[in-house]
Every structure is written in structure tokens, then in C-alpha cells.
């Protein structure tokens, strides 16, 4: 699907309307994943997306769940935990629309992605988990970007790169798709041309047994 057909796809049109309604919330959610990459790299939708991804620190969880309810998302499923009973990956549907919430932990002034357990399998085996890595300090402070005329509050380019690369390095969601790999390469070429893939990929630390 090319750029023109992507922007006229019915599901994409619904997702863009969702992004517009999100931009009107106070404060607006932070977007990561494919839509954030499109906003930063192209300013338009370049391909179909399965969902709209939000990124937030755990202290904002109640606020973001209330905002999600205002947008029609009422029933969330947990697909991953940062600790027993503490979700880090929540998903909800509203008709044809889906949103995923990625929840980070804050420790010593830094934001962590903590993957204790995942509720699905990869290649017929339990998804790799039991690790954490730190996200950059500018994760939530990057200026908003325009996506097809909609103001999108995006995670920083470095945070976008490190979330994908950090999780992919452990294989927790299986291998990156060709489009995801292309987005990673474009992020590096656009924002970090003098840094190697190894320099950008965050180092994961094992979680201590509970």
C-alpha cells in the first residue's frame, strides 16, 4: 500500500480521527510506535497500522485510562506485566479501533521498560522476559509533530528507537517486521547518523527474582 492509499484506507481514516480526538485531550497522550514514526519521519501515514500506541509513566495510568474511556475504550486486557499484578502492556478495542498502552516505571529520575512476564508465546515457547532497560531523559519532552495536519505528541526519536531495538534484541515479540526494521533504519539515518546500531540499542539488565 502506497502513501496515498494509506491515507484513504477506511481504518486509517478512523485512526487519524482518533489521533485528532487524542490531541484535544488535556494533557494529550504520548504516542509511540508506527504512528509516531510516521509523524516524525514523513508527516503523513506511510502504511497501515494495527493500532495506536500510547506511552506513559505508571503515575499517569489512572489519568490515561480515564481518557481512554472518554474515547470509548472501556475493557483493557493485560498482555504483559512489569511485576506480578502490575501491567506494562494493556490493550483495548472500540469497534475497529485498538489502542495499546505501554507503561514505564520511574526509578532514580529515569524511565524504565520492565518486562517481567508476557501473556503470549513466540514460536511456540513462552515469550522471553525477565529484563529491564532505561529510556532516555527526553522520552516525553520532544516537540509535537504534525501527521496529516494533526498535532501528535510523540515520544522522542531516541525513545522510539530504543523501545523497538531493546525489545527486539530479546525477541520478546518475535522478529521485527520489514516495515518496523525500515523505520528503525530511518530513525537512525535521520536523527543519529553518526551512531551505530550497537551504540543506540539499550543494554538490558536482568530482573532480580521476586
Q: For 159-205, what is each residue's pLDDT tens digit?
A: 999 999 999 999 999 999 999 999 999 999 999 999 999 999 999 99
Per-residue confidence at 208, pLDDT binned at 50, 70, 90? confident
**553518526: which residue's cell?**
194
Q: What is the pLDDT of residue 8?
A: 73
CA distances from 160 to 13, 138, 176 (A): 23, 11, 14
Residue 184's domain comprises 3-206
Q: State the angle between helix axes of 178-191 and 157-170 in degrees (0 to 180), rounded to the nearest 10.
A: 140
Q: What is the pLDDT of residue 210?
A: 58
Closest CA to 139 of 168, 109, 118: 109
CA–CA distance, 53 with 29 (Å, rounded to integer): 9
Per-residue confidence at 3, pLDDT binned at 50, 70, 90? low
Is the pLDDT confidence value at 2 over 70?
A: no
- Residues 46-105 pLDDT 10s: 999 999 999 999 999 999 999 999 999 999 999 999 999 999 999 999 999 999 999 999
Q: What's the CATH code of the domain at 170?
A: 3.30.460.40
Number of domains in the chain: 1
CA distances from 189 to 12, 48, 85, 199 (A): 27, 22, 39, 13
Is the pLDDT confidence value at 117 over 60?
A: yes
Is the pLDDT confidence value at 7 over 80?
A: no
Per-residue confidence at 1, pLDDT binned at 50, 70, 90? very low
Amino acid at each position: 500500500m502506497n502513501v496515498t492509499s494509506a491515507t484513504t484506507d477506511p481504518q486509517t481514516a478512523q485512526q487519524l480521527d482518533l489521533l485528532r480526538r487524542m490531541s484535544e485531550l488535556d494533557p494529550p497522550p504520548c504516542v509511540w510506535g508506527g504512528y509516531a514514526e510516521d509523524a516524525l519521519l514523513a508527516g503523513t501515514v506511510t502504511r497501515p497500522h494495527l493500532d495506536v500506541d500510547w506511552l506513559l509513566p505508571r503515575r499517569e495510568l489512572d489519568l490515561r485510562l480515564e481518557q481512554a474511556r472518554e474515547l470509548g475504550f472501556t475493557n483493557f486486557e493485560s498482555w504483559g506485566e512489569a511485576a506480578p499484578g502490575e501491567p506494562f502492556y494493556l490493550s483495548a478495542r472500540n469497534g475497529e479501533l485498538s489502542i495499546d498502552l505501554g507503561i514505564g516505571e520511574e526509578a532514580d529520575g529515569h524511565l524504565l521498560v520492565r518486562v517481567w512476564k508476557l501473556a503470549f508465546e513466540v514460536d511456540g515457547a513462552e515469550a522471553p522476559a525477565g529484563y529491564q532497560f532505561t529510556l532516555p531523559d527526553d522520552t516525553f519532552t520532544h516537540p509535537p509533530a504534525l501527521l496529516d495536519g494533526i498535532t501528535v505528541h510523540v515520544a522522542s526519536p531516541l525513545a522510539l528507537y530504543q523501545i523497538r531495538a531493546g525489545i527486539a534484541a530479546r525477541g520478546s515479540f518475535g522478529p521485527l517486521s520489514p516495515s518496523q526494521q525500515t523505520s528503525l533504519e530511518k530513525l537512525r539515518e535521520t536523527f543519529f547518523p553518526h551512531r551505530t546500531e550497537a551504540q543506540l540499542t539499550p543494554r538490558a539488565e536482568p530482573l532480580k527474582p521476586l
